[in-house]
Amino acid sequence: MDRLKDKVALITGAATGMGAAHARLFVQEGAKVIMTDVKVTEGKALEAELGNDRALFIQHDVTKLEEWIAVIEAAEKRFGPINILVNNAGIFVQESIETFTEAKYRLVMQVNQDSVAFGMHAVIGSMRKGKTGSIVNISSLSGMEGIKNGFAYVTSKYAIRGMTKAAALDLAQYNIRVNSVHPGIIETPILGGGTKEALEELSGKIPLKRIGQPSEISQLVLFLASDESSFSTGSEFIADGGSLAG
């Protein structure tokens, strides 16, 4: 229960879905957690659930660098320097290379790609104060292979792989590790409340014959956030029920 004892973690997109699962597990494992999101009602409810002595919710537009700087300043004031950053915020827009609009394409890039770059850049100073750090960038199985009608999403998730590797090389000198996680199909709001039949069809295409749960990804994120993964940096960690193996 103390795998993150005395650690301070910042998790984006933490109000619901996988981000909320990560926050709950991190608190259970001894961390103090700053949770950010644009979903204020859900975020404040999660803060109340976890206890404001261990958790802090901050409304945060991850596409704006100035807001990143403000969030990190508030986090340090409350809990001290940040040791862990989980870049979890993301959106999915279903459009092909033929049909996408400039506005939707740029939105996906801002939320999924720019936010990761801004977060890594903004947190370096805080992590250097503690002389160590772990950054976990949540990509996707779509950052390992293409999907039909997901051009912008796939592009953004592939970009996270490259940014992770480049940042890992830049930040190794400060003992800051950077890794990416690539979930397959997980039961979160991003699935859009599909019908029972549609979900069964999705499950049938996965070798393990089921959709993953947020808590299963959280266990992998916890490993990368903790000192247990101290020799892992610039690497990709896949949790997809065997989908990529087929």
Q: Which of 105, 153, 158, 174 is catalytic?
A: 153
Ramachandran sector of residue 180 (left: φ over 0; alpha: ψ -120 to 50; beta: rest): beta
| 82/78 Cα distance (integer angstroms) | 11
Q: Cα–Cα–Cα angle for 58, 64, 66, nearest 5°?
A: 75
- State the Cα angle at 36 between 53 and 138, rounded to 5°: 115
Instruction: Give the tokens for residue 227.
Output: 């000192």
**Integer Cα distance of 13 and 166 in angstroms:** 23
174 is catalytic: no
- φ/ψ of 20, rounded to 5, equals -65, -40
Q: Catalogue the active-site residues.
A: 153
